[in-house]
Structure 1
Amino acid sequence: MSFEEKRSWIYAVVAAAVPVAYFVTILAKVPGTDVSEIAYVGPMLTAIGVGIGAGIVLGIVAAVASPKDAGRADERDKQINRLGDYVGFYVMSICALVPLGLAMANVEQFWIANSLYLAFVLAALTSAVVKIVAYRRGL
Protein backbone atom coordinates (compact mmCIF):
# COMPACT_ATOMS: atom_id res chain seq x y z
CA MET A 1 0.00 0.00 0.00
CA SER A 2 1.45 3.33 -1.03
CA PHE A 3 1.78 6.20 1.41
CA GLU A 4 -0.81 8.22 -0.51
CA GLU A 5 -3.30 5.37 -0.22
CA LYS A 6 -2.65 5.25 3.53
CA ARG A 7 -3.38 8.98 3.69
CA SER A 8 -6.65 8.41 1.83
CA TRP A 9 -7.66 5.76 4.35
CA ILE A 10 -6.78 8.07 7.24
CA TYR A 11 -8.76 10.88 5.61
CA ALA A 12 -11.78 8.58 5.10
CA VAL A 13 -11.78 7.32 8.69
CA VAL A 14 -11.43 10.80 10.17
CA ALA A 15 -14.01 12.25 7.75
CA ALA A 16 -16.48 9.58 8.89
CA ALA A 17 -15.77 9.29 12.62
CA VAL A 18 -15.62 12.93 13.68
CA PRO A 19 -18.85 14.08 11.97
CA VAL A 20 -20.72 11.02 13.27
CA ALA A 21 -19.73 11.96 16.82
CA TYR A 22 -20.79 15.56 16.17
CA PHE A 23 -24.16 14.70 14.61
CA VAL A 24 -25.00 12.11 17.27
CA THR A 25 -24.28 14.69 19.97
CA ILE A 26 -26.15 17.57 18.35
CA LEU A 27 -29.10 15.79 16.78
CA ALA A 28 -29.83 14.04 20.10
CA LYS A 29 -30.82 17.48 21.42
CA VAL A 30 -33.34 18.19 18.63
CA PRO A 31 -36.38 16.23 19.90
CA GLY A 32 -38.31 18.36 22.33
CA THR A 33 -36.08 21.42 21.91
CA ASP A 34 -36.40 24.55 19.80
CA VAL A 35 -33.41 24.33 17.45
CA SER A 36 -32.73 28.04 17.87
CA GLU A 37 -31.75 27.24 21.48
CA ILE A 38 -29.27 24.49 20.61
CA ALA A 39 -25.66 25.62 20.97
CA TYR A 40 -24.17 23.99 17.88
CA VAL A 41 -21.49 26.51 16.89
CA GLY A 42 -18.91 25.50 19.50
CA PRO A 43 -19.31 21.77 18.95
CA MET A 44 -19.21 22.23 15.17
CA LEU A 45 -16.02 24.29 15.34
CA THR A 46 -14.58 21.70 17.72
CA ALA A 47 -15.47 18.88 15.32
CA ILE A 48 -13.87 20.74 12.42
CA GLY A 49 -10.73 21.42 14.48
CA VAL A 50 -10.52 17.84 15.74
CA GLY A 51 -10.96 16.55 12.19
CA ILE A 52 -8.18 18.74 10.86
CA GLY A 53 -5.91 17.99 13.82
CA ALA A 54 -6.53 14.24 13.69
CA GLY A 55 -5.83 14.18 9.95
CA ILE A 56 -2.53 15.98 10.47
CA VAL A 57 -1.42 13.93 13.48
CA LEU A 58 -2.37 10.59 11.92
CA GLY A 59 -0.63 11.62 8.69
CA ILE A 60 2.53 12.35 10.67
CA VAL A 61 2.23 9.02 12.49
CA ALA A 62 1.90 7.22 9.15
CA ALA A 63 4.95 9.09 7.83
CA VAL A 64 6.99 8.19 10.90
CA ALA A 65 5.88 4.55 10.63
CA SER A 66 7.15 4.30 7.04
CA PRO A 67 9.61 7.15 6.49
CA LYS A 68 11.00 5.91 3.18
CA ASP A 69 7.53 6.02 1.58
CA ALA A 70 6.45 9.36 3.05
CA GLY A 71 6.31 12.22 0.61
CA ARG A 72 6.84 10.01 -2.43
CA ALA A 73 4.11 10.47 -4.98
CA ASP A 74 4.40 9.17 -8.50
CA GLU A 75 2.30 10.11 -11.52
CA ARG A 76 -0.38 7.55 -10.64
CA ASP A 77 -0.72 9.04 -7.14
CA LYS A 78 -1.14 12.50 -8.62
CA GLN A 79 -3.80 11.31 -11.09
CA ILE A 80 -5.73 9.50 -8.38
CA ASN A 81 -5.55 12.53 -6.10
CA ARG A 82 -6.79 14.74 -8.92
CA LEU A 83 -9.68 12.38 -9.68
CA GLY A 84 -10.75 12.21 -6.03
CA ASP A 85 -10.62 15.98 -5.67
CA TYR A 86 -12.53 16.40 -8.93
CA VAL A 87 -15.35 14.10 -7.84
CA GLY A 88 -15.40 15.65 -4.35
CA PHE A 89 -15.78 19.09 -5.91
CA TYR A 90 -18.87 18.00 -7.82
CA VAL A 91 -20.39 16.35 -4.76
CA MET A 92 -19.82 19.54 -2.77
CA SER A 93 -21.30 21.65 -5.55
CA ILE A 94 -24.46 19.56 -5.68
CA CYS A 95 -24.82 19.18 -1.91
CA ALA A 96 -24.36 22.93 -1.39
CA LEU A 97 -27.68 23.46 -3.13
CA VAL A 98 -29.48 22.16 -0.03
CA PRO A 99 -28.23 24.83 2.41
CA LEU A 100 -28.71 27.42 -0.31
CA GLY A 101 -32.34 26.37 -0.68
CA LEU A 102 -32.79 26.35 3.09
CA ALA A 103 -31.40 29.88 3.31
CA MET A 104 -33.74 31.05 0.57
CA ALA A 105 -36.66 29.49 2.45
CA ASN A 106 -35.67 31.35 5.65
CA VAL A 107 -35.17 28.12 7.57
CA GLU A 108 -33.55 28.25 11.01
CA GLN A 109 -29.76 28.80 10.89
CA PHE A 110 -29.23 25.54 12.76
CA TRP A 111 -30.42 23.54 9.76
CA ILE A 112 -28.53 25.67 7.24
CA ALA A 113 -25.22 25.35 9.11
CA ASN A 114 -25.60 21.64 9.72
CA SER A 115 -26.60 20.88 6.13
CA LEU A 116 -23.57 22.83 4.91
CA TYR A 117 -21.31 20.91 7.30
CA LEU A 118 -22.87 17.67 6.05
CA ALA A 119 -22.18 18.76 2.45
CA PHE A 120 -18.49 19.21 3.30
CA VAL A 121 -18.43 15.83 5.04
CA LEU A 122 -20.05 14.05 2.09
CA ALA A 123 -17.61 15.70 -0.33
CA ALA A 124 -14.62 14.67 1.81
CA LEU A 125 -15.87 11.09 2.19
CA THR A 126 -16.63 10.78 -1.51
CA SER A 127 -13.21 12.11 -2.44
CA ALA A 128 -11.49 9.64 -0.11
CA VAL A 129 -13.58 6.69 -1.28
CA VAL A 130 -12.94 7.51 -4.95
CA LYS A 131 -9.20 7.61 -4.23
CA ILE A 132 -9.28 4.29 -2.36
CA VAL A 133 -11.28 2.61 -5.11
CA ALA A 134 -8.89 4.00 -7.73
CA TYR A 135 -5.94 2.59 -5.79
CA ARG A 136 -7.60 -0.80 -5.38
CA ARG A 137 -9.10 -1.23 -8.85
CA GLY A 138 -6.82 0.96 -10.91
CA LEU A 139 -7.39 4.25 -12.62
Structure 2
Amino acid sequence: MTHEERRAWIMLMVSLLAYTGYAAVLLSRAEGGSLTATPYVAAMLWTIGGAMVASILAEIGMGVLNPRASRVTDDRDREIGRLGDRVGQAFVVIGAVAAMLMAMAQWHWFWIANVIYLCFVLSAVVGSLAKVIAYRKGVPQW
Protein backbone atom coordinates (compact mmCIF):
# COMPACT_ATOMS: atom_id res chain seq x y z
CA MET A 1 0.00 0.00 0.00
CA THR A 2 1.48 3.34 -1.02
CA HIS A 3 1.76 6.38 1.22
CA GLU A 4 -0.93 8.19 -0.78
CA GLU A 5 -3.34 5.25 -0.50
CA ARG A 6 -2.86 5.25 3.28
CA ARG A 7 -3.64 8.97 3.30
CA ALA A 8 -6.87 8.27 1.40
CA TRP A 9 -7.83 5.61 3.94
CA ILE A 10 -7.13 8.03 6.81
CA MET A 11 -9.30 10.73 5.22
CA LEU A 12 -12.09 8.25 4.58
CA MET A 13 -12.16 6.84 8.10
CA VAL A 14 -11.68 10.12 9.95
CA SER A 15 -14.42 11.83 7.92
CA LEU A 16 -16.91 9.03 8.50
CA LEU A 17 -16.16 8.73 12.22
CA ALA A 18 -16.27 12.49 12.81
CA TYR A 19 -19.58 12.99 11.04
CA THR A 20 -21.11 9.95 12.75
CA GLY A 21 -20.02 11.39 16.10
CA TYR A 22 -21.47 14.79 15.21
CA ALA A 23 -24.80 13.26 14.16
CA ALA A 24 -24.95 11.20 17.37
CA VAL A 25 -24.28 14.27 19.54
CA LEU A 26 -26.84 16.32 17.62
CA LEU A 27 -29.56 13.68 17.84
CA SER A 28 -28.89 13.05 21.53
CA ARG A 29 -29.22 16.77 22.26
CA ALA A 30 -32.49 17.01 20.36
CA GLU A 31 -34.19 14.40 22.58
CA GLY A 32 -37.13 14.11 20.23
CA GLY A 33 -37.58 17.87 19.94
CA SER A 34 -36.98 20.18 17.02
CA LEU A 35 -33.55 19.89 15.47
CA THR A 36 -33.50 23.60 14.64
CA ALA A 37 -33.74 24.39 18.36
CA THR A 38 -30.79 22.13 19.14
CA PRO A 39 -27.46 23.85 19.84
CA TYR A 40 -25.20 22.65 17.04
CA VAL A 41 -22.50 25.26 16.43
CA ALA A 42 -20.06 24.18 19.15
CA ALA A 43 -20.51 20.49 18.33
CA MET A 44 -19.92 21.18 14.65
CA LEU A 45 -16.81 23.28 15.27
CA TRP A 46 -15.35 20.76 17.73
CA THR A 47 -16.06 17.90 15.32
CA ILE A 48 -14.40 19.67 12.39
CA GLY A 49 -11.41 20.68 14.51
CA GLY A 50 -11.14 17.22 16.04
CA ALA A 51 -11.24 15.59 12.62
CA MET A 52 -8.44 17.84 11.41
CA VAL A 53 -6.29 17.04 14.45
CA ALA A 54 -7.08 13.31 14.20
CA SER A 55 -6.10 13.27 10.53
CA ILE A 56 -2.82 15.06 11.22
CA LEU A 57 -2.00 12.75 14.13
CA ALA A 58 -2.87 9.67 12.08
CA GLU A 59 -0.54 10.80 9.29
CA ILE A 60 2.23 11.50 11.80
CA GLY A 61 1.65 8.06 13.32
CA MET A 62 1.77 6.52 9.86
CA GLY A 63 5.13 8.22 9.29
CA VAL A 64 6.51 7.09 12.65
CA LEU A 65 5.43 3.47 12.18
CA ASN A 66 6.83 3.29 8.68
CA PRO A 67 9.55 5.93 8.33
CA ARG A 68 10.98 4.39 5.17
CA ALA A 69 7.68 4.49 3.32
CA SER A 70 8.09 6.08 -0.03
CA ARG A 71 6.63 9.55 0.09
CA VAL A 72 7.58 10.13 -3.51
CA THR A 73 4.56 10.33 -5.75
CA ASP A 74 4.69 9.01 -9.27
CA ASP A 75 2.43 9.66 -12.25
CA ARG A 76 -0.06 7.02 -11.12
CA ASP A 77 -0.40 8.64 -7.66
CA ARG A 78 -0.92 12.06 -9.22
CA GLU A 79 -3.52 10.71 -11.65
CA ILE A 80 -5.40 8.92 -8.87
CA GLY A 81 -5.21 12.06 -6.72
CA ARG A 82 -6.71 14.18 -9.50
CA LEU A 83 -9.45 11.60 -10.11
CA GLY A 84 -10.42 11.51 -6.43
CA ASP A 85 -10.36 15.29 -6.17
CA ARG A 86 -12.60 15.68 -9.23
CA VAL A 87 -15.08 13.13 -7.93
CA GLY A 88 -15.19 14.74 -4.49
CA GLN A 89 -15.39 18.30 -5.85
CA ALA A 90 -18.87 17.64 -7.21
CA PHE A 91 -20.23 17.47 -3.68
CA VAL A 92 -18.70 20.81 -2.74
CA VAL A 93 -20.53 22.38 -5.70
CA ILE A 94 -23.77 20.59 -4.80
CA GLY A 95 -23.48 21.83 -1.21
CA ALA A 96 -22.82 25.41 -2.31
CA VAL A 97 -25.78 25.45 -4.68
CA ALA A 98 -28.03 23.82 -2.10
CA ALA A 99 -26.97 26.32 0.59
CA MET A 100 -27.52 29.24 -1.79
CA LEU A 101 -31.01 28.03 -2.67
CA MET A 102 -31.83 27.39 0.99
CA ALA A 103 -30.66 30.90 1.92
CA MET A 104 -32.76 32.38 -0.89
CA ALA A 105 -35.76 30.46 0.42
CA GLN A 106 -34.90 31.75 3.93
CA TRP A 107 -34.51 28.35 5.50
CA HIS A 108 -33.28 28.15 9.08
CA TRP A 109 -29.50 28.57 9.58
CA PHE A 110 -29.34 25.12 11.11
CA TRP A 111 -30.27 23.43 7.83
CA ILE A 112 -27.96 25.58 5.73
CA ALA A 113 -24.95 24.92 7.98
CA ASN A 114 -25.67 21.20 8.15
CA VAL A 115 -26.11 20.83 4.40
CA ILE A 116 -22.77 22.52 3.84
CA TYR A 117 -21.08 20.32 6.45
CA LEU A 118 -22.67 17.15 5.04
CA CYS A 119 -21.53 18.00 1.52
CA PHE A 120 -17.96 18.65 2.73
CA VAL A 121 -18.01 15.25 4.43
CA LEU A 122 -19.46 13.58 1.32
CA SER A 123 -16.75 15.25 -0.75
CA ALA A 124 -14.04 13.82 1.50
CA VAL A 125 -15.63 10.37 1.74
CA VAL A 126 -16.53 9.91 -1.92
CA GLY A 127 -13.25 11.42 -3.12
CA SER A 128 -11.23 9.18 -0.79
CA LEU A 129 -13.31 6.16 -1.75
CA ALA A 130 -12.64 6.89 -5.44
CA LYS A 131 -8.92 7.04 -4.68
CA VAL A 132 -8.96 3.75 -2.76
CA ILE A 133 -10.92 2.03 -5.53
CA ALA A 134 -8.54 3.42 -8.16
CA TYR A 135 -5.55 2.10 -6.19
CA ARG A 136 -7.18 -1.32 -5.96
CA LYS A 137 -8.79 -1.63 -9.41
CA GLY A 138 -6.74 0.79 -11.49
CA VAL A 139 -7.52 4.14 -13.04
CA PRO A 140 -10.37 3.95 -15.56
CA GLN A 141 -9.36 4.75 -19.13
CA TRP A 142 -11.83 7.00 -20.87
- TM-score scaled to structure 2, two decimals? 0.90
The answer for the alignment partner of 1:65 in structure 2 is: 65
Deviation at 1:70, TM superposition (A): 4.7
Deviation at 1:81, TM superposition (A): 0.7
- CA offsets, 1:97-120, max 9 Å, x none? 222221111111011101110010
Q: Unaligned 5+ residue runs, structure 2?
A: none
The answer for the alignment partner of 1:85 in structure 2 is: 85
The answer for the alignment partner of 1:121 in structure 2 is: 121
What is the aligned length? 138
Q: Unaligned 5+ residue runs, structure 1?
A: none
Q: Compare 66-75 and 123-132 and name the one that shifted more.
A: 66-75
Deviation at 1:46, TM superposition (A): 0.3
The answer for the alignment partner of 1:23 in structure 2 is: 23
Give distance in 2, aligned partners of 1:71 and 1:89. Answer: 24
For the aligned residues, what is the CA RMSD? Answer: 1.4
1:45-60 map, 5 Å: 45-60=45-60
Deviation at 1:86, TM superposition (A): 1.2
| Alpha-carbon spacing, 1:46–1:4, altered in 2? closer, same or farther (3 Å) | same
Deviation at 1:19, TM superposition (A): 0.6
Deviation at 1:78, TM superposition (A): 1.1
- CA offsets, 1:43-95, max 9 Å, x none? 11100001100110001111111111152211111111111111111222123
Moved over 6 A (4+): none
Instruction: Check the 8 A contact 1:3/1:69 in 2, yes or no.
Output: yes
Instruction: Check the 8 A contact 1:63/1:70 in 2, yes or no.
Output: no
| Alpha-carbon spacing, 1:65–1:99, altered in 2? closer, same or farther (3 Å) | same
The answer for the alignment partner of 1:112 in structure 2 is: 112
Instruction: Check the 8 A contact 1:18/1:51 in 2, yes or no.
Output: yes
Give distance in 2, aligned partners of 1:70 and 1:8. Answer: 15
| Alpha-carbon spacing, 1:28–1:86, altered in 2? closer, same or farther (3 Å) | same
Give distance in 1, aligned partners of 2:34 and 2:90. Answer: 35
Report SS of the residue matched to 2:15.
helix
Deviation at 1:34, TM superposition (A): 6.2
- TM-score scaled to structure 1, two decimals? 0.92
